[in-house]
Amino acid sequence: MRIAIVRKKYTFHGGAEGFSQNFIRQLADTGHEVHLYAMKWEGSSLTRNLFFHKVPAVAFNSFLRDLSFSISSFIMLRKKREFFDIIQSHDKTIYQDIYRAGDGCHIEWLRQRWGRKGVLGKLFIILNPYHWLILCMERIIFKGHRFNKIIAISELVKKNIIENYNVDKRFIEVIYNGVDLERFKPENRDIYRREIQEAYSIAEDAFTALFAGSGFERKGLEFLLKAVELVPVPLTLLIVGKGHEKRFEGLIKRQRVIFCGPQKEIHKYYAASDVFVFPALYEPFGNVHLEALASGLPIITTRQSGAAEIIEDGRQGFVIENPEDINDIAEKITLIMDRNQWQRMNIEARKLAEKFSFEEHMKKIYALYGSIKKPRLSSHL
């Protein structure tokens, strides 16, 4: 098949970007002709079956970037409609056969954020034109039926789409992400743990918690920093990702917190850690959950994360009802510090991850492709 994949950027950091890179490699390695439509490509060299098409966009700010990218990709793809068997978008664009709702629903994220803001915070949300643009594009996609099928990466996302935009559930397929079980594995602990510990001057026997993700507010870093201060014994917290670090410095008092920035070799940081904590306000699923599980890390996440659907509370980790419950987060971290508890959860985490291999993910994707008959977009738009 000839498949077009649309994503604003293909970079080394970010869960969605990393997933997209693995996904297109899988398609190309299977023999499909894959065409990437993006503003830039930071992946490895293009192969025989992989082609890059630069989408012109105004990168001055996020509003102009997203608007111009959507318009430009629409113009470019519409001209090539008959060339492609499938057009799949991983971003909010208005021309695709399959829309992968990897970012969930922006309206749902704003709802979660709105309830936690004061008057001034609410005013900033209202006056931010970017939010209005994304809400408008979201409405065009869902209400305007700019798709043949929607991939929801969790039941949470499917529920959000139906409740907010009244999309018929027949058009939504829930397909959980896949994880590279060879790159992320418990054996990495013996290979890389000491390397990372030495790089950051971490004691060999230190209990280490990990947070990974860009967009610190949405992913609940504030609550994690407050929670680790309540843990009665010393620990080290590694924070991998991109965000405004200085905003959180005042929360760091007793425990050791290390901001590591975005990391290309993220598998080494899982190997150096003992627990993955992700108290998100809203997270459609998050590849980091599967990467942590595959690495053998118990997980602490929230009910507002799609990953909560696959975790059995107390078995592979714990699910916190509300990210603000810092006492509960601290209590669960303390429980996992028990060596017997950790060893049991380590085994169960890996077992769970093995159900979400990239091979299983691709089987479901190909089944979805097979269910789509001749695309109707050329007549619809």
What's the CA dihedral at 104, 107, 111, 113 to 10 degrees? Answer: 70
Instruction: Establish if 252 belongs to a structural domain.
Output: yes
Give the residue with greater pLDDT, 17 vs 79. 79
Q: Which of 212, 264, 216, 262 lies closest to 238 in space, CA to CA?
A: 212
Whether the per-residue pLDDT at 166 is higher than 50: the answer is yes
Instruction: Establish if 379 belongs to a structural domain.
Output: no
Task: Report which secondary-structure segment, H or E, holds 153.
Answer: none
Instruction: Establish if 54 belongs to a structural domain.
Output: yes
Instruction: Establish if 214 belongs to a structural domain.
Output: yes
According to the model, what pLDDT value does residue 29 have?
85
Q: pLDDT per residue over 261-274, tens digit each?
A: 999 899 999 999 99
Q: Is 135 in the same domain as 247?
A: no
Q: Is 221 in the same domain as 311?
A: yes
Whether the per-residue pLDDT at 150 is higher than 90: the answer is yes
Q: Is 264 in the same domain as 303?
A: yes
Q: pLDDT per residue over 211-254, tens digit each?
A: 999 889 999 999 999 999 999 999 999 999 988 888 888 899 99
Q: Is 153 in the same domain as 196?
A: no
| Average of per-residue pLDDT values in the chain | 91
Q: Note down the domain range covering 218.
A: 188-355
Whether the per-residue pLDDT at 83 is higher than 50: the answer is yes
Report the Cα 371 to chain-centroid distance in Å.
Answer: 26
Q: Quick one: pLDDT band at residue 16, thresholds 50, 70, 90?
A: low
Q: Is 316 in the same domain as 254?
A: yes
- What values do phi and psi take at 352, rounded to 5? -65, -45
Residue identified by tokens 């664009």 is: 93
Q: pLDDT per residue over 56-76, tens digit each?
A: 999 889 999 999 999 999 999
Q: Quick one: pLDDT band at residue 380, thresholds 50, 70, 90?
A: very low
Question: Helix H segments across 119-220?
Answer: 119-127, 129-143, 155-165, 188-199
According to the model, what pLDDT value does residue 189 have?
96
The CATH number linked to 138 is 3.40.50.2000
Task: Report which secondary-structure segment, H or E, holds 48.
Answer: none
Q: Quick one: pLDDT band at residue 45, thresholds 50, 70, 90?
A: low
Q: Is 145 in the same domain as 262?
A: no
Give me the number of domains the chain comprises. Answer: 2
Q: Is 202 in the same domain as 152?
A: no
Instruction: Establish if 165 belongs to a structural domain.
Output: yes
Whether the per-residue pLDDT at 379 is higher than 50: the answer is no
Instruction: Establish if 380 belongs to a structural domain.
Output: no
Q: Is 299 in the same domain as 232?
A: yes
What's the CA dihedral at 268, 269, 274, 277 to 10 degrees? Answer: -140
Whether the per-residue pLDDT at 295 is higher than 70: the answer is yes
Q: Is 276 in the same domain as 337?
A: yes
Q: Is 344 in the same domain as 368?
A: no
Q: pLDDT per residue over 344-367, tens digit each?
A: 999 999 999 999 999 999 999 999
Q: Is 172 in the same domain as 193?
A: no
